[in-house]
C-alpha cells in the first residue's frame, strides 16, 4: 500500500495537533487531580507546649510553629502563628487573633476603655471573651477558631475553623 502525499500530511498535522493539545491539557489535568494524592497537611495538630492546667477563663496568648508549604515555598523552621486560648464552659477555645474586619491583630484587654474584651486598634473593633463580635463595632463576624486536642496534658492546635 502506497502512502499518498495528502495522507502523509494529514497524519503529520494530526500528530502535531494531538501533541500540542496533550501538552496544553496535561498541566490542567494534573492541577485538578494532584490534590487527590496529597497528604492532608491541614489536619495535622501542632504541640503548643502549653500545659492544660494553666488554661483558665482568662485568654492566654500562645505561639506555635506550623510546617506547611505555601505555594512553592516551604520555610525550614515553619511559619510562626498564634492563638488566644481560654476555657469557656469547660471546653478549651483557641481563637485566631486576626480581626474579621481588616485582618489586623486583636489583643486582650489592650484598651482600658473596654476591659474584658478583645480590641482591634485598626478601626476600634471589639470582641467578647469568647470571640463573638460586639454589635455596633466594625467586625461583622466572630473570630475564627482552631480545632484543639489535649494529648498527655498538653494542648495541641489543629486546623482553623472559618466562621
What phi and psi, each to the nearest 5 degrees, are found at residue 151? -130, 120
Spans in the chain with pLDDT lower than 50: none
Residue 89 pLDDT? 85
69: cell is: 508549604
Residue 72 pLDDT? 66
Q: Do 77 and 125 contact (CB within 8 A), yes or no?
A: no
151: cell is: 494529648
**What's the whole-model pTM score?**
0.70
> Where exactly are the structural domains of the chain?
5-37, 41-161
Q: Which CATH architecture has domain 41-161?
A: 3-layer Sandwich (2.102)
Residue 38 pLDDT? 64
CB atoms within 10 A of CB 72: 5
154: cell is: 498538653
Residue 43 pLDDT? 62
Q: Distance between CA atoms of 115 and 117, rounded to whole angstroms?
A: 6
Amino acid at each position: 500500500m502506497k502512502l499518498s502525499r495528502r495522507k502523509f500530511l494529514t497524519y503529520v498535522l494530526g500528530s502535531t495537533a494531538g501533541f500540542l493539545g496533550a501538552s496544553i491539557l496535561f498541566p490542567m489535568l494534573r492541577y485538578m487531580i494532584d490534590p487527590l494524592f496529597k497528604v492532608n497537611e491541614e489536619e495535622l495538630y501542632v504541640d503548643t507546649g502549653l500545659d492544660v492546667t494553666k488554661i483558665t477563663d482568662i485568654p492566654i496568648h500562645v505561639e506555635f510553629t506550623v510546617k506547611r508549604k505555601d505555594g512553592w515555598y516551604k520555610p525550614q523552621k515553619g511559619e510562626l502563628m498564634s492563638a488566644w486560648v481560654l476555657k469557656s464552659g469547660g471546653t478549651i477555645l483557641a481563637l485566631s487573633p486576626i480581626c474579621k474586619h481588616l485582618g489586623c491583630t486583636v489583643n486582650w484587654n489592650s484598651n482600658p476603655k473596654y476591659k474584658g474584651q478583645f480590641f482591634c486598634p485598626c478601626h476600634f473593633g471589639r470582641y467578647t471573651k469568647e470571640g463573638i463580635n460586639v454589635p455596633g463595632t466594625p467586625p461583622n463576624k466572630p473570630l475564627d477558631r482552631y480545632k484543639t486536642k489535649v494529648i498527655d496534658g498538653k494542648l495541641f492546635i489543629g486546623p482553623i475553623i472559618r466562621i
